[in-house]
Structure 1
């Protein structure tokens, strides 16, 4: 039920005309700190959107699709990927989500996908080791590992992990193309067409030869082809970048905090804690859109009907009203729910895959395989992004056995 709000008591939304896209890309957190201190919501001309940086406000939006719709007008995601379940409200969202069945859920992961993760982890750890100390952990391990896992889960027998990486990056670049760069749109459109062609090619085979993959399950359901295409493009985007970026950023955080790494290595149950703290600290999906369906009040601020909102979970997860010393990576902080996987009816469907592939397999095997894994002091790591944020490069050293 929509809460009763007193519009007359609300204050207007301030304008943050000092915010630039390059600043957000390089390091959004100082920007978010300043915005949160001033108001829970700002109008940001650079991104043509109201940015919501307060934890309570973001949580409210996630739980209230009556006032805050996912089906945004002129959505960048719709343009880049088609009208996927992420840009739908219930009941349409629920229909699409249920079409995925149990492929991404814990039981299927235990029965089918953990063995795949183990095999792929061994393959790409060997690739990283062959590249030698000083290699980039992202390009040699985290990215191809996440891509190959996703390729097999989705059922793209007619694509490579390199295809998956290209498709994912160009499609999410389109989804985050707030600068309206025509080159970004061209690359996203090319990848969109390639994904459509791959889906059209593989569906007949999977109808005749069903397996455990997502595409196989979809091939046997009476759902429109356009819905399959849009939802799979959405899955290629988030399903690759979330585990890749969570793995890379958690390794970076642990290597930057040797005392915490020692704790984790001494107590393997802390791998999960290290992962969850990292996606709080650096949310792989840092912002997603909503649109207000009515004039309303959000944490004391007047939000007009039709407002294009950016739910900045990357800022909410560092809200000092919720988290002590939020700018610091700390596996020993008191447990508090973060918003990195979203919430409500749009809670990330791939959360279990990310946790299983990164926490259950990827990180423990990595540190076991590479003795004295450490940062390369002569080649600094680099992070980037704000709509999607992760490690751009992570050169590492280790001791040869």
Structure 2
């Protein structure tokens, strides 16, 4: 859709938001042995997660910090909304995505607005997006390298397709796409907070004008749907709608890129399991869930104590912030035997990568559809897929968010 709305670039166009990933999220090769040591010591530790992993500590105003690694305690914090709140996110993503983000809300406010998002992201609608949006994007990208016999599946595929899907969902003009992605990624550069706030402001202005335009001339794009959908007489207020649109690129695009990259890396590291999927595509859903469990894209979630509580034997004062290490529960041997092994045939148990409780990821159905379509396309178009012997093997890195930077492969004869 052509639009009169125009997006603004950073005041400093030389700023690279993509280069700040390691600074913000770490580049540790394998944080799980350290996490296992913590869990053996105690289910809850004093202090925040970041400095324990060698990263600069987050800055929160006069808040005690705790790190939660025990699975029972993780489940309690994520589901006990009487004692634990999502308001901790007001100090980071609330500052950039906006305080109208449902990620910073508690019930009843959270439930009131979430039901509108849930109506739009129902599985039957997401399935249609898979056919009409995801498939064309995936095949357009893959067509550029299928004839070459080799590729970097990160740079040429997984880093691109989830974001291209969002551009199509929002029906953004092609001329706005590059600047849009730079601003969207820059919103989470909390180590350069001035750049994150600049991105937030410019995206807010852009989306406000875009929503006004789509309300006057609605289409079947996601902006029009969000602006014009109501449940029980409620429409999304501007603050909530704009905050959601700001967050979409990161919550949907970035995590799906990371999850798909990990999935493909794990399958190539375990060629017997990849062969099993080739022989039986019904194994694709369990492979996706195992990848999300084994090395989910977001290792840590944040909550705040609403009152003085005792958790894991520690006294937690009201207002304290808790780094909830979902990756610790996903690698707990008491839940998942031999947890460090990627195994699509293991007994299926629910993982923590989409969170739990009322804030379980509203976009989880779309993420699964995108990962499913991507893997089908890989199996359909890249026969005899294998690591490129002339290139370095991929390394999944990160302490907060995990991904390999490259995945060099060969395919065909």
Q: What residue in structure 2 maps to residue 120 of structure 1? A: 137
What's the CA shift for 1:74?
Answer: 5.7
Does residue 270 of the first structure (1) align with residue 273 of the second (2)? no
Q: What residue in structure 2 maps to residue 326 of structure 1? A: 339
What's the CA shift for 1:124?
Answer: 0.9
After the TM superposition, which residues 1-80 of structure 1 pair with which residues of structure 2 at under 5 Å, given as runs? 25-44=28-47, 46=51, 47=57, 49-72=65-88, 75-80=91-96
Tell me, yes or no, if the aligned pair for 1:114 and 1:357 is still in contact at 8 Å: no
Select which of 250, 256, 267 maps to 1:254: 267
Q: 1:68 to 1:101 in 2, by over 3 A?
A: closer
After the TM superposition, which residues 96-107 of structure 1 pair with which residues of structure 2 at under 5 Å, given as runs? 96-100=113-117, 102-107=119-124
Q: What residue in structure 2 maps to residue 364 of structure 1? A: 376
Q: What residue in structure 2 maps to residue 214 of structure 1? A: 222
CA–CA separation in structure 2 for the residues paired with 1:226 and 1:389? 30
Q: Give the unaligned 5+ runs of structure 1.
A: 1-19, 175-180
Select which of 76, 97, 108 maps to 1:81: 97
What's the CA shift for 1:22?
Answer: 8.5
Select which of 178, 186, 199 maps to 1:191: 199
Does residue 398 of the first structure (1) align with residue 402 of the second (2)? no
Please state whether the residue corresponding to 1:386 is helix, strand or coil. coil
More displaced, 149-158 or 197-206?
A: 149-158
Q: 1:363 to 1:253 in 2, by over 3 A?
A: same
Deviation sequence 1:148-188 (CA, Å, 0-9, x none): 112222443476554454344322343xxxxxx2xx32332
Please state whether the residue corresponding to 1:117 is helix, strand or coil. helix
What's the CA shift for 1:39?
Answer: 0.8
Tell me, yes or no, if the aligned pair for 1:168 and 1:240 is still in contact at 8 Å: no
Please state whether the residue corresponding to 1:27 is helix, strand or coil. coil
CA–CA separation in structure 1 for the residues paired with 2:152 and 2:27? 24
Q: 1:188 to 1:21 in 2, by over 3 A?
A: closer
Tell me, yes or no, if the aligned pair for 2:145 and 2:151 is still in contact at 8 Å: yes
Does residue 287 of the first structure (1) align with residue 300 of the second (2)? yes
CA–CA separation in structure 2 for the residues paired with 1:277 and 1:160? 36
Tell me, yes or no, if the aligned pair for 1:144 and 1:162 is still in contact at 8 Å: no
Does residue 146 of the first structure (1) align with residue 149 of the second (2)? no
What's the CA shift for 1:371?
Answer: 1.5
Deviation sequence 1:222-267 (CA, Å, 0-9, x none): 4432222212222221100222111111100000001111111111
TM-score scaled to structure 1, two decimals?
0.86
Q: What residue in structure 1 maps to residue 367 of structure 2? A: 354
CA–CA separation in structure 2 for the residues paired with 1:109 and 1:118? 12
Deviation sequence 1:74-127 (CA, Å, 0-9, x none): 621112221110011011111221232532221112334422111111101113
Q: What residue in structure 2 maps to residue 345 of structure 1? A: 358
What's the CA shift for 1:64?
Answer: 0.9
Deviation sequence 1:54-88 (CA, Å, 0-9, x none): 22111111111111100127621112221110011
Q: 1:375 to 1:116 in 2, by over 3 A?
A: same
Please state whether the residue corresponding to 1:127 is helix, strand or coil. coil
Tell me, yes or no, if the aligned pair for 1:170 and 1:187 is still in contact at 8 Å: yes
Tell me, yes or no, if the aligned pair for 1:249 and 1:278 is still in contact at 8 Å: yes
CA–CA separation in structure 2 for the residues paired with 1:164 and 1:282? 28
Please state whether the residue corresponding to 2:318 is helix, strand or coil. coil
Q: Give the unaligned 5+ runs of structure 2.
A: 1-22, 52-56, 59-64, 230-234
More displaced, 345-354 or 135-144?
A: 135-144
Q: 1:95 to 1:156 in 2, by over 3 A?
A: farther
Q: What residue in structure 1 maps to residue 212 of structure 2? A: 204
Q: 1:129 to 1:24 in 2, by over 3 A?
A: closer
Please state whether the residue corresponding to 1:331 is helix, strand or coil. coil
TM-score scaled to structure 2, two decimals?
0.83
Q: 1:116 to 1:22 in 2, by over 3 A?
A: closer
What's the RMSD between the two structures over aligned residues?
2.3
CA–CA separation in structure 1 for the residues paired with 2:367 and 2:349? 20
Deviation sequence 1:271-304 (CA, Å, 0-9, x none): 1111100000111121111011112122333322
